[in-house]
Structure 1
Amino acid sequence: MIVERKIKVVTEQHNIDKPAEHEGFPMKEWTVEIFVLDQDGRERPAKCFTKAVYHLHPSFANATQTFTEPPFKCTNEGWGEFEMSIDMFTTEKGGKSTILHDLNFASPTYQQIHTIQFKNPSQALQQILRETGPLPSDEERKLKKVDGGKKKKSFDVEKMADGLVKLSEEDLLHVIQLIHDNKDDNTYIQNNLDAGEFSVDLYTLPDGLMKTIWDLLVRAAVV
């Protein structure tokens, strides 16, 4: 699953009453903040990130600056314009997105919009992302939850979730193998080999695979 969100980077800058380090270039104080835009284009706290690391011009004494709370406000003083890079991290393994940001003094306030992709987000990150808009799997989730007058499905997803945790280790490994062998492009799974964990969004499984797993749970008398 790939989830996209628009990230707004807002910059504010103004002159400060300090001696110019270079003639013709007044000293400035500038601030950069990071927000997420929801589906209606409104600014929301960027809680999908755990920290933001700003890589400033190497002339700064502390050229790498890290912030761990939204809006990841980075404030500094200087006289020159430059391009910085910003690394934004999630809790996911390898969950880093990098954007380039042009710091300039043409306007007192300006903003830049970037599109960020979250690849196979964990269940916890999915919940945070849902605060700013639906996920690709949500429509399919709704279709599977609503009967809509069509033929009633022969399995109950909620009961499946309860039944899976009651399976023996052998049967559970068999289910995991079934999912690996029969998943499709819409199936969301996540393996954490280091922690020995496997998670799956049952609502993203193909109907045929759901029926196979349901029948196994019935035979194991856990649903």
Structure 2
Amino acid sequence: MEGFPMRAWSIEIYLVNEHGEEVPANIFDKAQYRLHPSFEKRALQTIKQPPFRIQEKGWGEFDMQITLTAKHKGGDNTLDHDLNFQKERYEAVHTVTFRNPKPDLLALLRESGPAGDENGIKGKPASKKNKKEKTVDMEKLADSLQRLSEDDLLQVVQMVHDHKTQETYIKNDVENGEFHVDLYTLPDALIKMLWEFATEKAGGLQ
């Protein structure tokens, strides 16, 4: 491109511990980079090993999306990153929050600093989770919801939207046609409604 020099650029992803030091981002299974459409067949790239290094070249600056998939079913987190050439090297710090991570993921998180109990996350949310587990088998509920038909799933999404609270964690990925919800953040009444709905559609959950 006349007047615009070609530049080689790369991105790596690390965690930052409580001392501000970079440590391997081993809590993630993969990183998916969504680049500018002009990269054509390379516009969507998935890297599966830390530090999830992507290396490219081009003349233009652009905003990209980086989707990090956590290990142990920790879900996806999408970050917006501004690729620019103002400095030879620069860092962008993002905060990623995990709600009710499974024990294996929590152990990995603790390798980079305090997590879970140390930050006071345990307490009311934990006891609330245990209460729900006694009345509803959350694993069975999650499995049954994934087996519903598309029409039934639309009803589930509507129910969640209608009865969610401020604590409810949802993510609506319209572009990929996906809807994410953390069942443990739903109010008890909604959990019961979803259980009854799934039971009716599945002919009974055992």
TM-score by length of 2: 0.59
Q: Partner residue of 1:23?
A: 2
Q: Give the whole-Å Cα distance in 2 for the aligned partners of 1:45 and 1:86.
A: 17
- Counterpart selection for 2:37 from 39, 42, 58: 58
SS at 2:20's partner residue? Answer: coil
Q: Partner residue of 1:67?
A: 47
* Identity %, equivalent residues: 42
What whole-Å deviation, never above 9, does each CA across 1:22-79 have from its counterpart, x for those lacking one?
1110111100111000111100000111100000000002100000011100100111
Q: Give the whole-Å Cα distance in 2 for the aligned partners of 1:140 and 1:27.
A: 49
Look at both structures and tell me which one has the larger radius of gyration over its CA atoms: 1
SS at 1:47's partner residue? Answer: coil
Equivalences for residues 74-223 of structure 1 within 5 A: 74-93=54-73, 95-138=75-118, 184-187=124-127, 191-193=138-140, 194=143
What whole-Å deviation, never above 9, does each CA across 1:165-201 have from its counterpart, x for those lacking one?
xxxxxxxxxxxxxxxxxx8324365842249xxxxxx
More strand by share: 1
Maintained 8 Å contact 1:54/1:84: yes
Q: Output the amino acid matched with 2:85.
A: F
Maintained 8 Å contact 1:137/1:186: no
| TM superposition outliers: structure 1 runs of 4+ over 4 Å | none
TM-score by length of 1: 0.55
Aligned-CA RMSD value: 2.3
Higher relative contact order (CA 8 A, sep 6+): 1
Shift of 1:139: 6.7
Maintained 8 Å contact 1:28/1:79: yes
Consecutive unaligned residues of structure 1, counting only runs of 5 or more, are 1-21, 142-182, 196-223
Consecutive unaligned residues of structure 2, counting only runs of 5 or more, are 145-206
More helix by share: 2
Aligned length: 133
